[in-house]
Structure formats: C-alpha cells, structure tokens
Amino acid sequence: MKSLRRPLLLFTLAAAALAALPGPEAPKPRHGTKLVIVNDDGFSAFYSGRYQTADDLRQQVASYADTSVAVLEWCITSGSRVNFATPASELVGANVTSFGRRGDQLAAETLRRLAAEGTDTLQVVAQACHAAGIRCYATMRMNGDYAASAKDDSLSRQFNSDFWRAHPEFRVRGPKGEDKTKLSFAFAEVRDFKLAILRDAATRDIDGLHLDFLRHPPFFGYEAPMVDAFQQKHGIDPRSLPADDARWASIRAEFMTRFLRDTRQLLDTAGAKHGRHLGLSARLDWREHVALGCDLATWLKEGLLDYLVVGQHSLGGYEFELAPFVRLARGSGCAVLFGEEAILAGHDRTAAEDKLIAEGKMVAPTRASLLLTQYQARAARWFAAGADGIHLFNESNPTVLKALGTPPPAKPTP
C-alpha cells in the first residue's frame, strides 16, 4: 500500500496543476462588436521596399489604431527561414548572393541590415501593437519550403532553411519513397526545429502564436515513424490502403496533436514569465483539415485554441457552411472566425517575369481583390452563421479594416 502513495500523490499534484492552468481566452472585439484580425505576411512589404526601417514597421501598425483590428498576426517565417534574429533558423536570404527577383534581394538586404543594427523586428511590431491598443500574435507558416526546378531554384535557396538542406531524410515521402519537398511533422526532429522558432518568438512581448495550416500542406506522407506506428496498431501496411482511410488519418492526427500540445506548453511556460496568458490559434482548411492531420475536435476538447480561423487553401471568394464549426467550438471558449483571402485572381511574380518587367518587356501583372461591398455582404452571412469575427489575409485597406467590426443592422421584417 505504501508503494502506491507516491505515484498517487504525483498524479494528484499533476491533476491539480492541469486544473490550475487557465482555459482559452479569446481576444475581445475592438471598436465594434465582432473580432477583426489581420495577417501581415512579414515579407511582402520588405519585398516592395515599404518596410525598410523600424519606424516603417511602427507606422504601419499605428495605422490600425483607429480601425476595428483587435489582433495583428505578424508572420515570422517564410519557407523555414525567419525575419527576426534567432538561433533557431536563419534570416530569409541568408548566404544567398544571386536572387531570382529584385524584391527578394531587397528584402534579404533589408533584414540583414536591420539585424546588424540590432533591430528586433518581432519585438518592434509587438511593442507597436500594444502602443496602438491591439494584440500581437506571431505567425508560423507551417510548411512553406519550396521545391527547386531545373529552371529556377532561387526560391528554395532563399527561403528553405539550412536544417531543410541538411536533412532530406526528414521530408514528406510519397508511397514509393518520393521526396515531396516539405518537412514532415512525423519526425520529432522536425517538430523540435519548428518549436524552437516558436519558443524563441515567445520570449518577445507577444500575446500569442498563430499556426497557419493553409501555408502550405502537406504535413505528412508515408514516413517511417507513422508507417511503423500504423503497423503496430493495425498490423497492415498503410501504403496498401486508400489515402483517405480514416485509420491512416487518425495516425497523422496523433503526430500533429503532439505538436499542438507542445506549442501550448511552451506558451504556458513563456506566459508564466510574462505574467499573463499567451494565446494559441490556428487557421485550417474547412474541407481538408482532417485529411491533413488536424484533429480539431480534440484540440477544442483539450482547450488548446483561443481562436480558430476556418478558410480554404485557394484564392479568395470561396464559400462554405461555417455553422458546423461554430457548433463544434461551442462551450470550448474558442472564438471562431471566417477566414477571408483577399486575392481573387493572380499569382506571385516569377523570376522570369520579374526580369522581363525590369527590361520593360512586360507589364507587371495585376491582382483582383475583394471589394468593401463584397466583404460586407459576405460578413453578414458569416455573422448570421455565428462567427465571432472575420480574419483577413492579404488585406490592409484601412477602409475595410474600419468597416467590418460591426454587423449591419437587421432589415425590418415586411
């Protein structure tokens, strides 16, 4: 009997500690009745030359002060490199001397100069957010590494980390062992690499972390850790099954949920040092999240998320039923937002196009984007479905950011 007392005591203490952890704390709306959250990709404005100094970052954040924006998500990763100084990875463009696009070179040179000057871009943005009265979440694009083509490897050289280059054995594999470029979350080493970036980000004065699963799947293939786990559990080789077999999806979910739990734990540790709760959020594909290994039901049940963004891995203008996600999150403390992608048509400029534009042989391509009237009509539908707010991606128009925080008045019944 005596031998059982210590394990029982440890279990009781652990249970008490878990019970003492704060639950989800969704951000509050600001200058309106609904949440408005905007994402800055942390690269495009360096690419265009709009961000060149710390004051440029502060001025951009200050422009949100009189809008309905409650949270600015500041993306810290491009590929598996970063835009702030951290030992966990390299700056975008590190050790690159030849760039495919002029903007890539400008971005890399600007980030190097800022780092050399001692400017911590993430800390500058976080402090500017607080001065403007809004929260700052550091965002990780979950799997943005680029494949190299025979014609152009400039993107992979600029954005893919030294870790990616050194460890081809940790990449997503097809059923026949094909290299699918992306790092696989099936490997503890990959999860640790990405957690190290997030852990260092959480030492800054941020309010939380955002995991962007729309940038870019897949996160798993047929890697040995998952294949072995599946065979031990079911006694068959998963490569003999359809890719959408529910049992195989369940194995993927187990590995990704480990990552979510570890992220929540590092936030709790950092939050204790900051003296406040640090939030965790995610952006998911409404159609594909289960197949991609995102077990949303478990994440909500365990109280891992403070807000959830539901969108689609495509250009904007998509529509889907948001109500099922609202019902799933009910009682969890997690806010649910419809994820709008502003761009309706267009593509990122290629190196070949940039060269032609520089030579005056091509007009720079334009992009079609959602208009304010479209946002307002769409927002009315999402709010009617129970959305707690709107999440804006590739959007920074102040008129839009001011207008979306309050639903339009209900039309009188005839």
DSSP-assigned states of every residue in 14-41: HHHHHHHS----PPPP-SSSSEEEEEE-
- φ/ψ of 172, rounded to 5, equals -60, 135
- φ/ψ of 375, rounded to 5, equals -55, -45
Model pLDDT for residues 182-207, shown as the tens digit of each residue: 999 999 999 999 999 999 999 999 99
Listed in sequence order, the residues at least 6 apart from 91 whose beta carbon sits closer than 8 Å to its beta carbon are 81, 82, 83, 85, 108, 111, 112, 115
Q: Which residue has the higher pLDDT, 148 or 334?
A: 334
Q: What is the predicted pLDDT for the residue at 10?
A: 37
235 pLDDT band (50/70/90 cuts)?
very high
Mean pLDDT to the nearest integer, 331-347:
97
DSSP labels, 256-300? HHHHHHHHHHHHHHHHHHHTS--EEEEEEETTTTTTTT--HHHHH
**Residue 414 within any structural domain of the chain:** no
Mean pLDDT to the nearest integer, 127-151:
95
413 pLDDT band (50/70/90 cuts)?
low
Q: What is the predicted pLDDT for the residue at 406?
A: 84
Strands 335-341 and 389-393: parallel
**Residue 17 within any structural domain of the chain:** no
DSSP labels, 344-382? EE--PPPHHHHHHHHTTSSPPP--EE--HHHHHHHHHHH
Handedness of CA 338, 133, 137, 62 (dihedral sign): positive
Distance CA 159, CA 144 (A): 8
**Residue 111 within any structural domain of the chain:** yes
Distance CA 199, CA 205 (A): 12
Model pLDDT for residues 42-96, shown as the tens digit of each residue: 999 999 999 999 999 999 999 999 999 999 999 999 999 999 999 999 999 999 9
DSSP labels, 40-55? E-SSHHHHHTS--SHH
Res 269 pLDDT > 90: yes
Beta-bridge partners for 279? 208
Picking from 229, 155, 148, 225, the residue whose alpha carbon sits closest to that of residue 191 is 225
What is the residue type of 220? Answer: F
Res 170 pLDDT > 70: yes
- φ/ψ of 48, rounded to 5, equals -80, -15
Distance CA 296, CA 227 (A): 22
CATH of the domain at 339: 3.20.20.80
**Residue 5 within any structural domain of the chain:** no
Distance CA 31, CA 144 (A): 34
Q: What is the predicted pLDDT for the residue at 9?
A: 42
Mean pLDDT to the nearest integer, 144-158:
93
Listed in sequence order, the residues at least 6 apart from 384 whose beta carbon sits closer than 8 Å to its beta carbon are none
Q: What is the pTM of this model?
A: 0.93
Q: What is the predicted pLDDT for the residue at 405?
A: 87
Q: To 10 degrees, the CA torsion angle through 201, 203, 204, 209? A: 50
Res 411 pLDDT > 70: no
Res 22 pLDDT > 90: no
**Residue 176 within any structural domain of the chain:** yes
**Residue 233 within any structural domain of the chain:** yes
**Residue 100 within any structural domain of the chain:** yes
**Residue 9 within any structural domain of the chain:** no
**How many domains would you assign to the chain?**
1
407 pLDDT band (50/70/90 cuts)?
confident
Distance CA 393, CA 344 (A): 12
Res 306 pLDDT > 50: yes
Q: Tell me which residue range forms the domain holding 234.
A: 26-403
